[in-house]
Every structure is written in structure tokens, then in C-alpha cells.
Amino acid sequence: MKSDETRWLTESEQDLWRTIREFLWLFPSAMDRQLVRDSQMQSGEYSVLAVLSEASDPSLRPADVAQVLRWDRSRLSHLLRRMEGKGLISRCSDETDGRGHQIALTDLGRETIENAAPSHVTFVRETLFDSLNATERRALETALPKILESIEQHGFKDTSC
């Protein structure tokens, strides 16, 4: 798009964008600080443990975990190696596909997510949901899926997972 065709933001749109940008920077950092402080783990580790603990199957393919989290496989692969080294997950051969493997929670991984969940849910409730009234929550419930759909429609979704 040429600069003379640019649809510049209005002043109120610029203010909203700055607020969104600040939220996008601050909330993940605050979430990581909470998880490190209370559970000695990063949000990525928590996310993987949560997906595995909520799965109906005892083990999942890494590609399935990447798809649920909307992460690229290389990001997940590096994280899984570290988590395996910490004893949080185990890898085993995929019986349905001999070339691949599956990942599962270890006893330590299950204990870790079960211990971390209460304080993490408290963080999410107190910083996100308690700060909004019902109308504001409904607005986010409506707006955020539309924004995610727009990202996908404009080709900005990571397709490597």
C-alpha cells in the first residue's frame, strides 16, 4: 500500500492501539513473573503442561500440542527438550507412526501443573477478569475472536504448525 493510500489511525484509534500494545507487552511479562515466583516455571512450560494435563489421551504428538497452542514446531521442540531434561515430560515412540514420538506428563510434571494451577488461576482472575465488568468481558469475548480471524485471513497466522 502506498503512503497516499494509507488509512491512518484516528487519534482515538491511536490511543486504543497504544493501550493494546502496552497490554501485549506487560501482561505476558507479568504472567511470567507470577509463574516464576510461585512455581519456578515459564509460561511456555505451564502452557504445555496444561495442554497435556487437559488432554483426554495420556500422550499427544508434539504437532498436536503445537496446534492447540498455535506455536511453530521448532519453538515447541526446543521447549520439550528442556522440559524433558527437567523431568516434567517423557517422550516415547508413536505406535501409530514409527517415525514420530509422543509426549506425556511424568509424575513430576503432573504434580508441577497441579501445584501451579491455583496461583496461576488466581493471577488470571485478579488481573484480568476481576478488572472487567460483565459488559466488558462480553466485548472481549466478541472482539478477540474477530481479531484472531482477521490475522488468519490476512495471512499472518503461523502455518508451520
pLDDT at 123: 98
pLDDT at 94: 75
What is the strand order of the sheet 89-94 is part of? 59-60, 97-105, 89-94
Helix (H, G, I), strand (E, B) or coil at 124: helix
Q: Where are the domains of the chain?
A: 26-130
Environment class of residue 104 by beta-carbon count within 10 Å: exposed (0-12), middle (13-18) or buried (19+)? Answer: middle
The per-type count for the chain, helices as H runs and strands as E runs, is: 6, 3
Rounded mean pLDDT for each run of 10 residues along the chain, 161 residues in total: 81 97 96 97 96 94 93 90 96 76 95 97 97 97 94 76 45
Write down the CATH number for the domain with range 26-130: 1.10.10.10
**Which cell numbers hold the place of 100?**
514420530
Distance between CA atoms of 73 and 160, rounded to whole angstroms? 7
pLDDT at 56: 93
Identity of the residue numbered 128: L
Environment class of residue 101 by beta-carbon count within 10 Å: exposed (0-12), middle (13-18) or buried (19+)? Answer: middle
pLDDT at 161: 45
The partner residues of 89 in beta bridges, in order of sequence, read 105
Distance between CA atoms of 3 and 149, rounded to whole angstroms? 26
CA 36 to chain centre: 16
The partner residues of 29 in beta bridges, in order of sequence, read none
φ, ψ for residue 124 (rounded to 5)?
-60, -45
Helix (H, G, I), strand (E, B) or coil at 102: strand
pTM value is: 0.86
